[in-house]
A and B are shown apart, each in its own frame.
Chain A
């Protein structure tokens, strides 16, 4: 890690003195909790989370200079710059430079992970092959031309990553469903699609949660690719109006090419979206036919109702309000990752609607607020887990078990071969008491595991 404050301050100082970069002091940019800038290695602005990247050409030049000075003079890589209240994290990936400037409590590793996701989002839109080729041919290319309309994917992804612990844990959230209902859905897809050649994945998702994923035998889908699909669906209102035929590159699966996706909502009264991904670019019609057959089967077997019950968080389901169902009053919040399946479950699932609220809030601001929070939301709990998560995943001396109790709350973090668990208890709870509560909690999760997780990995 390089702490090169002086250099930054000096360069900024010059800019301010010459009044060229007054824009950097404008309300659009000042006081944001986290900036993200993406530029080409030639220093051309590509994306800025806030403000107008056109007006940030000067800043991008500075970033590019910093990166290349360290690279050329010191034969080193600029990873981060830390100031008193702010971290700037750099990631050079292929022909792009990505930078996060954050005043949040996220660690350097977590910020690098977010930048990697932002890079993968761009790859998902263009493919790595196309991205590299463009800059090989024209180093000065303005990539915004090709990314037109995709900025909102990056915008939404950044918000999504700040709010949803799925990213923190590298896991996928599943829609809790009765085992039988999920099995019926999976079978409806398999029986319809198993004769379709070159269909690689069939995925049913709703509200950033996985309902089922059927795959070709040889292939698997990495959680981060699934997150990009969640983000794509959530960001694209246009999928709701019609069947779409959409090229999508899944960077972990194959960064060099597109899969072609038949994307559609399963029925007018259900927010579940079906993606049928194939390598055949002209397979739209057979997949459209398959979709209609699947939709009919799901309707007939009353699966649509089961999905809607889960999405509407019907009171009859034990998974709707797990804390109440588990019945240990000292537990305020928990999140659990099942490591073998890379899936997570939290006591208070972040619903789709609420994420949309955050998006609206974010368009207005993203400003740092000092307001004292009266009642913690699920998102605040997750924010509190960040530093524990960082200690658990620390590359040098990882912690296995953390217990911290103070006058605000008691937090327990625990990693084993099988799971990763974070629990928030009331303030000043004794260790013994939490141990009992955790045992009870783990028993409940074991009992419900067939509802809250997808325990098998179905194939065509």
Chain B
């Protein structure tokens, strides 16, 4: 079976729940005692697909301003970036936009982007309407997902159009380019389908 290595970087403001999402996705748990990440944390996980095994490397970066200058070290070699904001914090959404600008001007190769609005469990007080985020994501050709690391939930399923765009991007990527993981989601079947079709897209092009 073919083994593919893929690197993904998780970016976003401090306290939006980047680590919580990653720990939920990889460790299948939620801890209220997570302390701020210092520098960056490195996770790996394996995803078994029908035709290949994906060795996924996740760089979960620190959101504090003082680590900003170290970010290039992580996105430089990444295949995809997960841009996370907190749906109850307008400023964190603005921060995502500045990350996108930085990636567009500094990332050496094409990066597959995915936008995630976390803390959907606090949906009683959203400051970033799903429609705004989805519209912005669509403009980037990225999928938008609302998640709750606390409740292990994806509240708004990824929109179709951006997801097709994600696949197209992968299809256009150079042969052998690893593909990105889906955003953390509780339904493994849908993740794997998405990844599998992405993989197909990429093999066809090669």
A residues near B (Cβ < 8 Å) are 125-126, 145-149, 152, 232, 235-238, 241-247, 260-261, 281-282, 284, 288
Contact = CB atoms under 8 A, between A and B. Distances in A.
Contacts of B39: 244-247, 260-261
Contact of A237 (B27, B33, B65, B73): B33
B14 A148 contact: yes
Name, among B43, B60, B66, the residue most crowded by chain A CB atoms within 10 Å (CB to CB): B66
Contacts of A235: 35
5 contacts: A148-B14, A152-B35, A237-B33, A238-B35, A243-B41
A126 B70 CA distance: 13
Contacts of B33: 237
A242 B35 contact: no
Name, among B27, B37, B70, B73, the residue most crowded by chain A CB atoms within 10 Å (CB to CB): B37
Given A149-B36, A236-B35, A246-B40, 12 more contacts: A125-B66, A148-B36, A148-B64, A149-B38, A152-B35, A237-B31, A238-B35, A238-B36, A242-B41, A244-B38, A244-B39, A288-B42
A125 B66 CA distance: 9
Nearest to B62: A149
A244 B37 contact: yes
Question: Looking at chain B's contact residues, is the secondary structure mostly helix, strand, loop, or mixed?
Answer: mixed
B14 A149 contact: yes
Name, among A232, A238, A246, A281, the residue most crowded by chain B CB atoms within 10 Å (CB to CB): A238
Contacts of A282: 73
B79 interface: no
Contacts of A126: 66
Interface of B: 14, 19, 23, 27, 31, 33-43, 60, 62, 64-67, 70, 73
Nearest to A145: B65
A237 B23 CA distance: 13
A288 B40 CA distance: 13
Contacts of B62: 149
Nearest to B60: A242
Contacts of B42: 242-245, 284, 288
Contacts of A241: 19, 23, 27, 31, 34, 41
A282 to B, nearest CB: 7
A223 B66 CA distance: 26
Contact of B65 (A146, A242, A261, A288): A146
A40 B60 CA distance: 32
A243 B66 CA distance: 20
A352 to B, nearest CB: 15
A247 B70 contact: yes
A246 to B, nearest CB: 4
B66 A244 contact: no
Nearest to A152: B35
B38 A238 contact: yes
Contacts of A152: 35
B40 to A, nearest CB: 5
Contacts of B14: 148-149
Contacts of A125: 66
A89 to B, nearest CB: 28
Nearest to B39: A246
B70 A148 contact: no
Contact of A244 (B40, B64, B65, B73): B40
A152 B37 CA distance: 13
A323 B66 CA distance: 48
A247 B31 CA distance: 24
Name, among B23, B36, B38, B43, the residue most crowded by chain A CB atoms within 10 Å (CB to CB): B38
A236 B19 CA distance: 13
A28 to B, nearest CB: 23
A244 B35 contact: no
A245 B40 contact: yes
B64 A242 contact: no
A278 to B, nearest CB: 13
B70 to A, nearest CB: 7
A241 to B, nearest CB: 6
A358 B23 CA distance: 28
Nearest to A149: B36
B64 A149 contact: yes
B43 A242 contact: yes
A125 B67 CA distance: 10
Contacts of A244: 37-42
Contacts of A147: 66
Contacts of B36: 148-149, 238
Contacts of A148: 14, 36, 64-66
Contact of B73 (A149, A232, A236, A281): A281
Contacts of A149: 14, 35-36, 38, 62, 64
Nearest to B59: A245
Contacts of B41: 238, 241-245
Given A245-B39, A247-B70, A284-B42, A238 B65 contact: no
A238 B19 contact: yes
Nearest to A281: B73
Contacts of A247: 38-39, 67, 70
Contacts of B70: 247, 281
A242 B22 CA distance: 10
Contact of A146 (B37, B38, B60, B66): B66
Contacts of A260: 39
B28 to A, nearest CB: 12
B32 to A, nearest CB: 10
A81 B72 CA distance: 48
Contacts of B40: 244-246
A243 B59 CA distance: 10
Name, among B36, B39, B42, B62, the residue most crowded by chain A CB atoms within 10 Å (CB to CB): B39
Nearest to A147: B66
Closest 6 CB pairs of A and B: A149-B36, A246-B39, A242-B41, A237-B35, A243-B42, A146-B66
